[in-house]
Amino acid sequence: MESYLVMKNNVKRAWHNKKFLVLLFLLPVVLCLSAGLINQAEQHAYRVGIIGDQENFKDLSGVEAEETDAFHISSDLAMGVYQFVLIETGEGVRVVSNLPKYEQEKLESALANNELSLSEMKAGNTTKTERGAAFLAMTLMILTTVSMSKLIHDRGAGLYQRFCMVTYKKGAYHLGYILYVMILTYLQAFAGCFVLKLINPDESGMAWIFLLPLFISAITTIISYILCATSQSEVQANISSSAISIVLALLGGSFVAVEKMPLLLQHISVISPMYWAMQIVARF
Amino acid sequence: MKQLLNLTCFFLKRRLKDGFTIGYNLIFPVIMVLLLGYLTNRNFGDIVSSYQYYAIVTIPFCILMSITTAAYAAKDCAYQKTAMRFVIAPVSTTQILMANVLSCTIAFFLCYFVLFFGVVWIYRLAFSMTWLYIPLLYLSMSFLVSAIGTWIGNGMKDFLIIKNIMNIPVGLLAFLGGCFYPIGSMNHIFRFIIHLSPLTWINQAMFRCVFSESETNAVLTSMLLFLVGFVCCLIGRRSFRKEEFLYGELPGYEK
């Protein structure tokens, strides 16, 4: 009962601070839209520079080819302007690239066998929705700590002490806060997932829209509660949550697909909630 | 001139002793290069390794991030409650502003100059004479960033809000400038938009210097950055208000 009263009190407080409430719901939606836009920026075909007569490479499909300057090959390849450069040498075609060895070998064998449609080779394993889900989980980890850090504020303002003096139940206050934050985060996550589904309707199933918010709200509430319980100030809790969420997002595969990470990181990535968020989207 | 020199030396000493400056400009880029380099080391080939790539693109990104440090530096006197002494001292407003800009420029430049030669040595980038233009790029960027930071810092009310707001456009410019993903990984629409980011031009100039031994881009970009920096100094001087310079509350950091 006491926990319910704490939760109700917090909902009332949030309701009175309408600007904060609107921002809490608007932010994940806007960020999901931005993530969707950034994901659209990805190039799915190889970008190829050609040195020599372009006519000789007109059968090359699944790539974006253009004539390039021989003087700047190294810097263009280093910057990633081209994934590889084809040089006509008279005796044949030489491939110069900054691709990793395994990809370079695949590419050379495809070119040698005249399999000039290379678009499938470049396709990644992570979908846009999966990346968006990882991004949403990262954002909500930061936002949940912002909501949970009011617990530190209450401790400083004496509200927590007054509650304990009346009820003698410290746990009830904490439980009430956890329930309030969990419900709030579930609604935020649901709004974000809904936007992700709207942006890419054909990429995944439907069940994850309900399951993922449940997972995100549970895990982010636990992490933010631990952070707030161990921090001395609101600023400290918020900075810690930002740092932790960015590290977890990098580990979880939101920046680089897990299968393209070094082997050690591939094993460590399972500790990241963002990794599991992507798995939920992929499986449901 | 003597006052400007004295003020610059005084501010410079404060900047170099400031943990905020060193942390943001020396430790943060090292951590970023190590983290991103390790994370992506299976995605790069023999021409440039992931560590080399991120060492080159992270330094300009971090110089741009230093706008926050420069904004903080502009307000440092007010936060220390010593701004009034500068206002009543026999120094002009222009000298105070320019001392701030120059001290930040030198502090940032020193940090990134040391960092650049550190990463060159650690990640074994092949040396060429065109590298001598890279410090010029760093200097011009540091000057521009210090000028913008001082302009913003003198007029800001809440450092935390400015810090959070500034991170959004800087992050966006960095994304477009190839600081996180190589430029070639973007589709044809974004390939046009990336040219709106100054970091694209700066990174391109850096790569041309290191890998193509061509300094033209670096010289042109540096000249442009110095010019824009000078214009920002002029705007900062015109918009300078003594009452804003004296305002020294730091919300969010109260004990």
Is residue B138 very low, low, confident or very high in pLDDT (cuts 50, 70, 90)? very high
Beta carbons within 8 Å of B46's beta carbon, 6+ residues apart: A98
Q: Is B28 on the interface with A (CB under 8 A)?
A: no
Please compute the mean of the pLDDT values over residues B38-48 and round it to a whole number: 84
Ranges of beta strands (E only) in chain A are 46-51, 63-67, 84-88, 93-97
- CA distance readout (Å), A144 to A24, A25, A188, B18: 9, 12, 10, 32
Q: Do A104 and B187 touch (CB under 8 A)?
A: no
Q: Is B35 on the interface with A (CB under 8 A)?
A: yes
* From A42, A78, A235, residue closest to B211, measured CB to CB: A78
Mean pLDDT score across all residues of chain B: 83
A148: exposed, middle or buried (C-beta count within 10 Å: 0-12, 13-18, 19+)? buried
Q: Quote the number of domains for chain B.
A: 1
Q: Do A261 and B183 touch (CB under 8 A)?
A: no
Q: What local confidence, expressed as pLDDT, does residue A145 receive?
A: 87
Q: B40 to chain A: nearest residue by CA?
A: A261
- In this predicted model, which residue has the larger pLDDT, A4 or B139? B139
B92: left (phi over 0), alpha (psi -120 to 50) or beta: beta
Q: Do B189 and A83 touch (CB under 8 A)?
A: no
% of chain A surpassing 70 pLDDT = 89
Spell out the long-range contacts of B178-182 with Cβ–Cβ below 8 A and sequence spacing 24 or more: B178/A79, B178/A80, B178/B57, B178/B203, B179/B57, B179/B58, B179/B60, B179/B61, B179/B203, B180/A255, B180/B36, B181/A80, B182/A79, B182/A80, B182/B53
* From B42, B45, B183, residue closest to A79, measured CB to CB: B183
Please compute the mean of the pLDDT values over residues B115-132 and round it to a whole number: 79
Cα–Cα distance measured from residue B51 to residue B55, given in angstroms and rounded to the nearest whole number: 6
Q: Do A79 and B185 touch (CB under 8 A)?
A: no
Q: What local confidence, expressed as pLDDT, does residue B40 receive?
A: 86
Q: What local confidence, expressed as pLDDT, does residue A118 receive?
A: 54
In a domain, B253, yes or no: no
- CA distance readout (Å), A169 to A2, A8, A10, A161, B111: 8, 17, 17, 11, 53
Which helix (H) or strand (E) element contains residue A25? helix A18-40
Q: Is B217 on the interface with A (CB under 8 A)?
A: no
| Residue among A99, A161, A132 nearest A33 (CA) | A132
Task: Give per-residue pLDDT as tens, A232-281.
Answer: 777 778 878 888 888 888 888 877 888 888 888 888 888 999 999 888 88
- Between A247-251, B144-148, B249-253, the lowest mean confidence (pLDDT) is in B249-253
| Residue among A275, A245, A268, A266 nearest A126 (CA) | A275
Are A32 and A38 a contacting pair, CB within 8 Å? no
* From B182, B187, B212, residue closest to A72, measured CB to CB: B212
**Which of A71, A77, A79, A266 is the best mutation test for B, with the most CBs of B within 10 A?**
A79
Specify the pTM. Answer: 0.79
In a domain, B61, yes or no: yes
Q: pLDDT tens digits for chain A (284 residues)?
A: 777 887 788 788 778 877 777 877 787 788 777 777 777 666 666 777 888 776 666 666 667 777 777 778 888 888 888 877 878 777 777 778 888 887 777 777 777 666 555 555 555 567 778 888 888 888 888 888 888 888 888 877 787 778 777 776 777 888 888 898 899 889 888 888 888 888 877 777 778 888 889 999 999 999 999 988 888 777 778 878 888 888 888 888 877 888 888 888 888 888 999 999 888 888 87
Chain B positions touching A43 (Cβ under 8 A) are 184-188
Q: What local confidence, expressed as pLDDT, does residue A59 receive?
A: 63
Q: How far is A210 from chain B (nearest CA, A)?
A: 30
Task: Give per-residue pLDDT as tens, B7-35.
Answer: 888 888 888 887 767 777 788 888 888 88
In a domain, B203, yes or no: yes
- In this predicted model, which residue has the larger pLDDT, B135 or A155? B135
Q: How far is A76 from chain B (nearest CA, A)?
A: 8
**What is the interface pTM, i.e. ipTM, of the complex?**
0.75
Cα–Cα distance measured from residue B31 to residue B159, given in angstroms and rounded to the nearest whole number: 24
**Which of B44, B49, B175, B212 is the best mutation test for A, with the most CBs of A within 10 A?**
B212
What string of DSSP letters covers A31-88? Answer: HHHHHHHHHHTB--SEEEEEES-GGGGTT-BSEEEEE--GGGHHHHHHHTS-SEEEEE
- In this predicted model, which residue has the larger pLDDT, B132 or B247? B132
Q: Do A250 and B38 touch (CB under 8 A)?
A: no
What stretches of chain B show up as alpha helix (H) in DSSP? Answer: 2-17, 19-22, 28-39, 50-65, 67-79, 83-88, 93-123, 133-155, 159-176, 188-193, 198-211, 216-238, 242-246
Q: How far is B82 from chain A (nearest CA, A)?
A: 26
Q: What local confidence, expressed as pLDDT, does residue A122 receive?
A: 55
Q: Which amino acid is at A112?
A: A
Q: Do A80 and B180 touch (CB under 8 A)?
A: no
| Residue among A182, A178, A188 nearest A23 (CA) | A188
B178: left (phi over 0), alpha (psi -120 to 50) or beta: left
Q: Is B182 on the interface with A (CB under 8 A)?
A: yes
Q: Do A80 and B203 touch (CB under 8 A)?
A: no
Q: How far is B97 from chain A (nearest CA, A)?
A: 30
Q: How many CB atoms lie within 10 A of CB A213?
A: 22
Boundaries of domain holding B124: 2-246
Q: How far is A1 from chain B (nearest CA, A)?
A: 34
Is residue B255 very low, low, confident or very high in pLDDT (cuts 50, 70, 90)? very low
Are B150 and B236 a contacting pair, CB within 8 Å? yes
In a domain, B252, yes or no: no
Q: What local confidence, expressed as pLDDT, does residue A259 receive?
A: 82
Q: How far is A6 from chain B (nearest CA, A)?
A: 26
Q: What local confidence, expressed as pLDDT, does residue B221 receive?
A: 93
Q: B31 to chain A: nearest residue by CA?
A: A247
Q: What local confidence, expressed as pLDDT, does residue A42 receive?
A: 67
What string of DSSP letters covers B221-244? Answer: HHHHHHHHHHHHHHHHHHT--HHH
